[in-house]
Structure 1
Amino acid sequence: MKSYRELRVWQLSVDLAVEICLLLENFPKHELFGICSQLRRCAVSIPSNIAEGHQRDSTREFLKHLSIACGSLAELETQLLISERLGYLKPEKFSDFTARLQELGRMINGLQNSLRRKLD
């Protein structure tokens, strides 16, 4: 694959990051520098790390960045759960995001497994 832009996992994670950023427009203004900032950072971190890792010179570096993306995925899920419990996010929307995060997690895991096989 020549570009990270061709990776479906990158495309879907960019879509998710954009949706999270749009969602934050409806959060309380007093959360602008709190949970909103955290949500934005971890959502943007996922596709950013996939892209950065893909552009690195080694498979091991790509795997390292995919691991970071997985960490950001878990962080995003946690922040969304907190948002839902605070009443900033409807339970149905939280469930939708959770399903998408699980799918992205499976995709990243599959990519990691494929890359690890290349190292063997």
Structure 2
Amino acid sequence: MKRHNFKKLQIWQEAIELVTLNYKFTSTLPDYERFGLISQLNRCAVSIPSNISEGTSKRTNKHFVTFLEHSLGSAFEWETQLIICNNLNFISNETFIDFEKRIQKLQQKISNFIDSLDK
């Protein structure tokens, strides 16, 4: 298996962008959520590109796919946290829709990449 350069992977680039947007968003959440939703959202967001990059160091596609699956799981976890923020009115509807479109697009791209490596 040829190792991938994670910095050149579109899924990693989009995940990094999401981390930046996420941190800007979580800085607006109520201070009492510092150890709740803020921490959880930040950890989920950071985990997405981190697992992609860590996976590129693995020797086989099978091992790389495992890390991509972890990344995908974090993306779904982040989406769930976002829905909770929306339900608690911590996020504007416009921002929620934008984030939801971004994360669902990224989830699909990660899934497609996993499928391409599984062949």
Q: Deviations over 1:35-90 (max 9, x none)?
A: 00000000000000000011111111110011111110110000001011111111
User: Alignment partner of 1:34: what SS?
Assistant: helix
1:93 to 73, 95, 100: 95
Verify: 1:17 aligned to 2:25, yes or no: no
Number of residue pairs matched by the alignment: 117
Instruction: Supply the distance in 1 between the matched residues of 2:53 and 2:40 (Cα, whole angstroms).
Output: 20
Which residue number corresponds to residue 33 of structure 1? 35
Structure 1 spans left out of the alignment, 5+ residues = none
User: Alignment partner of 1:32: what SS?
Assistant: helix
Aligned sequence identity (%): 38
Structure 1 runs (4+) greater than 4 angstroms displaced: none
Q: Deviations over 1:4-44 (max 9, x none)?
A: 10001100000001110111111100101110000000000
Structure 2 spans left out of the alignment, 5+ residues = none
TM-score by length of 2: 0.94
TM-score by length of 1: 0.94
Verify: 1:47 aligned to 2:49, yes or no: yes
Q: 1:2 deviation in Å?
A: 4.4
Q: Is the 8 A contact 2:75 2:103 kept in 1?
A: yes
Matches within 5 A, 1:71-110: 71-110=73-112
- Taking only aligned residues, the RMSD between alpha carbons, in angstroms, comes to 1.0
User: Alignment partner of 1:56: what SS?
Assistant: coil
